[in-house]
Amino acid sequence: MSTSSDSNSLSDADSNGALNEIHHVVIAVGNVSKAVEWYTKHFHCDHFRCDIEYHDETRALFVFGNTRLALVPPKQHPPHIGFIHPQAESFGELKLHRDGTRSCYVADPAGNAVEVLALIGTS
Amino acid sequence: MSTSSDSNSLSDADSNGALNEIHHVVIAVGNVSKAVEWYTKHFHCDHFRCDIEYHDETRALFVFGNTRLALVPPKQHPPHIGFIHPQAESFGELKLHRDGTRSCYVADPAGNAVEVLALIGTS
């Protein structure tokens, strides 16, 4: 995990005024099913106020109106924020994930894990 | 901080199909200025890819395309996610903040802090 990248300057084409988006936020929960039950009840995922994209004992992904929330056991993934970035590859080699996204992980100066994702739909 | 709420059932009027939104995400950073510099550089807040709503030595708020990221020193606020909820008041007494939002804090079953905000523009 690198804390810096010197080569991610934007071309004029990338500076199109569209703001970068936060693709997802990942938080750690000891018991995924218990947490899913809590978020489902309190944020009315059963009343069409958020969607559960998937859920098993090792991970859950909620889709809210503007971004996604993933729940994972503490040792599976570090809690992190995933940002979509037009030059994600400048942060490191991108890994292809099962959901079709491509990303790499870096750390901010405080040591927080940051996932940098390529624009969805790019190869 | 309470871990449960039994009175936040939705009325038909609230079940309008609009998904709840994640208003902001707060992460802890030891040195706010250093972190602001890093996020500004890497997410091109100086190239119109995100905005800095405010920044001093104790807090910073970035506005991304779909949600907000706040950076705070570890002891000022717990890291948390702030959700907009149509019945935020059912989670507890709402406190009015300087930015005009009203919210309360609860904890999910894993102990993660969760801020529940009233719909923006409601009194």
DSSP string, B77-105: S--EEEEE-TTGGGGS--EE-TTS-EEEE
pLDDT tens digits, one per residue of A69-110: 999 998 878 899 999 999 999 999 999 998 899 999 999 999
> How far, CA to CA in Å, does A82 sit from each of A50, A102, A108, A120, B105?
19, 11, 12, 12, 24
Say if the Cβ atoms of A20 and B112 lie within 8 Å. no
Report the chain B residue with the minimal C-alpha distance to residue A84: B43
pLDDT tens digits, one per residue of A12-64: 445 455 788 999 999 999 999 999 999 999 988 766 688 899 999 899 999 99
ipTM: 0.83
Strand A113-117 relative to strand B68-72, pairing = unpaired
Instruction: Give contacts of A27 with chain B, Cβ < 8 Å.
Output: 81, 110, 112
Question: Higher confidence at residue B18 or residue A22?
Answer: A22
pLDDT at A77: 80
Question: Higher confidence at residue B77 or residue B48?
Answer: B77
Say if the Cβ atoms of B19 and A49 lie within 8 Å. yes
Q: Calculate what percentage of chain B has a pLDDT beyond 90.
A: 63
Which pTM value belongs to this model? 0.85
B119: confidence class by pLDDT, cuts 50, 70, 90: confident
The alpha-carbon gap from A45 to the nearest alpha carbon of chain B, in Å, equals: 9
Instruction: Give contacts of B17 with chain A, Cβ < 8 Å.
Output: 48
pLDDT at B3: 46
Q: Calculate what percentage of chain A has a pLDDT beyond 90.
A: 63
Instruction: Give contacts of B112 with chain A, Cβ < 8 Å.
Output: 27-29
